[in-house]
Each structure stands twice: as C-alpha cells, then as structure tokens.
Amino acid sequence: MEKQRFDGLGLSPEILKAVAQLGFEEATPIQSAAIPVLLAGGDLVGQSQTGSGKTAAFSIPAIEKVDPASKAVQVLILCPTRELAEQVADEVHQLTAFKRSIHSVPIYGGASYERQLFELRKGVQIVIGTPGRIIDHLERGTLKLDQLKVAILDEADRMLDMGFRDDIQRILDATPEERQTVFFSATLSRQIKELINRYSRDPQTVAIERKDVTAPAIDQWFYEIPPRGKTQSLIRLVDFHGFRLGIIFCNTQRMVDELADALLAQGFSADRLHGGITQAQRTRVMNKFKNSEFEFLVATDVAARGIDVDDLEVVINYDLPHDPEDYVHRIGRTGRAGRKGMAATFVSGRDIYKIQYLEKFTHSRIRRGVIPTPSEVEGKRSEVLFVKVRDMLASGKFSDQTQFTDRLMEEGFQATEVCSALFSMLLGQVGTPEPSSAPKAAPLPVEIPMDEGFAQPKGFKKKPPFVPKSPAQGKPAFKTGFKPGFKKNFDQGNQGGAGTSGKPGKFSKGFKKDRGPR
C-alpha cells in the first residue's frame, strides 16, 4: 500500500489543521489503507505492528463520526494497559484540538474515581479505557454505551493474552448492534477470529505486508535517552566523534524547526528541510548540502527523499521512524561507495522494544551505545588535536613562525609555557587573565550627603541644605534641597503665572482652591 497525503483522504479542515500542527506530512501505509474504509462506515480488522501509526488510523475516522451536539458516549477505545490508554488519550486530545465541542476522557485502574465521574457527568463523546475499569463504570451505572457509534479494540491480541476475553464480550454486548467495530492486532489468533466473527459484520481486513529487506553494512547503534536530554546528547555525540557532514531525521516539521534552531544556537552549521518550506527553498538547501556548505541537515522523511551525498559520515534518527522501511531508507544514505558510515538512533520509554523488531526486520545487529560524558568529549578533542600537531610536525609541512617564539622567549617565557598556551587557545580553555599588579588610580573625590548622626569620612565636607526663609516671619519656612527660586516659580505656576522659562505655568489657576492647602 502506497502512502498518501492527509489532504487527499477526505478529512475535515479541523483534523487537517491538527495534523499539520503535529507536523505530519503524509499518512503511513496503515493509515492510508484504514482511514478510507472507516470513514465509509465499514467494520475493519487491521493487522500491523506497534509504531506503525495505527492509533491515528482508527482515531481520526472515529473523531470524524462524532456528533458534537450530543454529550453521549459515541466512541469507545479499549486498550490492554494503562500506559497505552494514556498514550492513545493524548493523541486523541491533540487530534481534537480544533474541534472544541468534542471531549475525551481516559478511564483506567489506579486512577481516581472522582475525576473520572466528574468528566463522565460533564459529558464526553470519546472514552479510552482498560476493560476492568470500563466494567466497573458499567456496573455502577456511571457509563452508558446505548448511543455508541464506534467500538475499537487496540492490541486485541494482548488483551486476550491478559485474560480480558469475558470483559470484552460483556462490554460489546452492552453496545448497540448497529455500531461500527474495529479490531487492531499484530497477530490474528483463533480467539481473535472468533470475536471478529461474533461482533463484526463483513469486516474488511487491512494487513501491511513487510518486504524482506536488509540494512546496509554500516555501524548501527542505539542510545536510550530521556526525551528532554536528546539535544544535549546529540551535541556530545557529534563533538566526541568529530562528525562534519550528516543528516538528522525527525518525524515532524515542528521538531525539525526546534532542533535546527537549537543547533544554530550552539554554534553548529545546520539547515532544515521539510514539506512546510517552498520548493525553491528546498532546492537551494539541497544544493548547499551537496556542496558541503553546512554540516548538518535536519529533515523529515518526505523532504529528504532523493538525497544522494557520497561523503555522508553519519545518519542520526533523532526520532524513531514509525515504519521499519523508513529506517532502512534513512540509514542507507551513509556508508556509500565503500565508505565507512555510522547510524545512531535515539530511543526513550517503550521505543526500546522496537529495536528488537528492527533487528529482525533488517537482519542486522543494532548495538547499544552510551552517550559520552563531558570529560570524555574534552579528552577526545585533546587527543585529536595532539595527533594533528604531531602529524604536522612529522610531515614538516608548516610555515616558519620562529619570530614569535623567539620574542616570547626573550621576554622570559619557557618553550613549554608557550606550547601550553597555544594548546589552551586551540582547545578553547583560555581562562580570564588575572588582574595586573600595577598601582590603582586614586578615586575621584565625591560629595556624599550624610545624615546627621553618622561620622563624616576624612576628606569630605558636608554641604548644608538650602533653607529659604519666610518673608513675613523671617524664620525658615521649610527645609529642602531645592535650588533657590524653585518655590517661587512653583507657586507662580500654581497661580497660572510664568515659570522659570517665562511661559505660562503647567497648573490651572484654581489648583490650590480646588485641592485645598497641602
């Protein structure tokens, strides 16, 4: 099954906008095959592996069938575990970002009943949950499925292996017979076929065939990294190995933009390539990359098709691809024409289990790697610089710069000190120079007004504040630091007279009369 673009599957503008916001450019094979069938209203049996994009394959058509005007539960998605229910609920929430009247709630064991009851009473159209907790709410009467339109069983084979067959039958028996039933499973055992025959009506089977492919003979490594540590780990890996030309693959346009900006902020020479930029710009970026005008190209699978660069040193899977065939296409861009190449894949969480499937699919070994520490990176840089200097000295291919060393040695520096300073400069380890021992200049005298009761420092004289006298009493009217004439001008301004500049004052004539005496 060939991949299709989402805008060619007949989806609503709200779903297309949500998909574009997530950064997906085209549907995976299982999505391209399943979405049209489900939108047409037929029952379906999907057979695909984890990580193939099947969650969106059944979520998108289910969301499209929801009536926003009704607050009844219309879509039920059964998952074998709490973790999978949370993952599906998160993706459904993102896909309904622009359908404001559609609400979903995850229901699983180990979570608070009060929150689940609050959401159910408020009214939700999509429920994602595990069989045990769904049965609990059905028995309590807090969940009603009499208006259900779509029932989806995700990873049905795992649910049967965990002993949920009776619960699944009780749940499906509580739903209307005219519902749409969807089964997704990696394998189709006898028990699953019995459920399909009992609860489905002429289902269409969609199975994604996997071609027998072999990964190219290059070094393949995977690194288990938390999602928040990917960027820093990438920088350490590049610095440690000294890569100068490589491609970094991400699954979404948004991730491409964020990573490219992060690399540029760290001083790397990088550019981006995805379906969100114009064709002219894509052509310009590709020409620059083929001419090695920058070091790293951050790209999605769609935009990076057709890249043919012989000197590519490394391919880094910043995001693990959904389709194993995409993995083979990615890493196959390095190690060409008999050259040595390396492929590095970052995994986190449950993605670690997909590595075993990739090894079986590609008939190759993917070794576990460890991200180097900062001290290891610094040691590797020092060793590389040492080898370069040693090779240059052995070859004799360097210009004569003895005039500089002679001048420094005449000033009393040793040859070893000169070499150490040069190596520190090349490694970027130059610290802040110590302050000079020259005598400091005397500070300029400054008059500092002091309050009475504090001792005056030597060399300073306290200047008494100006104290104008009242013309009627001959006593000080107030104490202030204002300049002479300020109060006279201020009073004139209050009375509408001229200020210091001879122009009319800023305040109205009746200012004192209105406000009263201060």
Average pLDDT (270-287) is: 83
Q: Which domain holds residue 171?
A: 6-207
Q: What letters, b where the CB count within 10 A reaches 16 and e where it falls short, cover 235-249?
A: bbbbbbbebebbbbb
Q: Is the pLDDT of residue 283 over 80?
A: no
| CATH number of the CATH domain containing 269 | 3.40.50.300
Together in a domain, 164 and 294: no
Together in a domain, 113 and 253: no
Boundary residue ending a domain (165, 184, 207):
207
pLDDT tens digits for range 1-10: 566 788 888 8
Together in a domain, 97 and 167: yes
Boundary residue ending a domain (172, 207, 242):
207
**In the prediction, which pLDDT does 83 show?**
77
Average pLDDT (319-344) is: 78
Together in a domain, 203 and 224: no
**In the prediction, which pLDDT does 364 show?**
85
| pTM for the model | 0.51
Together in a domain, 245 and 312: yes
Together in a domain, 292 and 235: yes
Edge-to-edge strands of the sheet including 204-207? Answer: 104-107, 126-129, 75-78, 150-154, 180-185, 44-47, 204-207
**In the prediction, which pLDDT does 309 show?**
73
**332: number of CA atoms within 13 Å, CB side?**
16
User: For residue 74, what pLDDT band results from cuts at 50, 70 and 90?
Assistant: very high
Helix (H) or strand (E) holding 76: strand 75-78
Euclidean distance between the first and final Cα of the chain, in Å? 88
- CA 28 → CA 9, 24, 57, 497, distances in Å? 12, 10, 9, 82
Instruction: Extract the runs of DSSP E, i.e. beta strands, from 280-389.
Output: 296-299, 314-317, 342-347, 367-368
How many structural domains compose the chain?
2
Together in a domain, 258 and 298: yes
57-71, 349-363, 453-467: segment of lowest average pLDDT: 453-467
Does residue 453 form part of some domain?
no
Together in a domain, 64 and 199: yes
Instruction: Extract the runs of DSSP E, i.e. beta strands, from 94-198.
Output: 104-107, 126-129, 150-154, 180-185
What would you report as the CA-atom Rg of the chain, rounded to the nearest whole angstrom? 37
pLDDT tens digits for range 175-221: 999 999 999 987 788 888 999 999 998 899 988 765 544 455 688 99
Together in a domain, 245 and 184: no
Together in a domain, 261 and 126: no
If DSSP codes are grouped into helix, strand and coil, which group holds residue 298? strand
**Mean pLDDT over the full length of the chain:** 78
Together in a domain, 28 and 172: yes
pLDDT tens digits for range 475-501: 444 444 545 554 455 455 444 444 444
Q: Is the pLDDT of residue 377 over 50?
A: yes
Together in a domain, 123 and 53: yes
Q: Quick count: other Cβ atoms within 10 Å of Cβ 452?
A: 5
Cβ–Cβ under 8 Å, residues 466 and 481: yes
At 139, the amino acid letter reads: E
